[in-house]
Amino acid sequence: MSFYTILVLAVGLERVAELFVAVRNMRWSFARGGREYGKGHYPFMVVLHTGFLAGCLIEVWQADRPFLPWLGWPMLVLVVAAQGLRWWCIRTLGHQWNTRIIVVPGMPLVTGGPYRWLRHPNYVAVVVEGFALPLVHTAWVTALVFTVLNAGLLTVRIRAEDAALRAASST
CB 121 within 8 A of CB 89: yes
Task: Spell out the domain ranges in the chain.
Answer: 2-170
pLDDT, mean of each 10-residue run, the chain (171 residues): 93 97 98 95 97 98 97 98 98 97 92 95 98 98 98 97 85 59
User: Given this model, what pLDDT does residue 165 score?
Assistant: 86
pLDDT tens sequence across 105-128: 999 889 999 999 999 999 999 999
Q: List, in sequence order, the alpha helices (H) in the chain.
A: 2-31, 42-62, 69-93, 121-135, 140-170
Residue 1: predicted pLDDT: 61
The domain defined by 2-170 carries CATH number 3.40.30.10: no
* Whole-number Å distance between alpha carbons of 80 and 25: 24
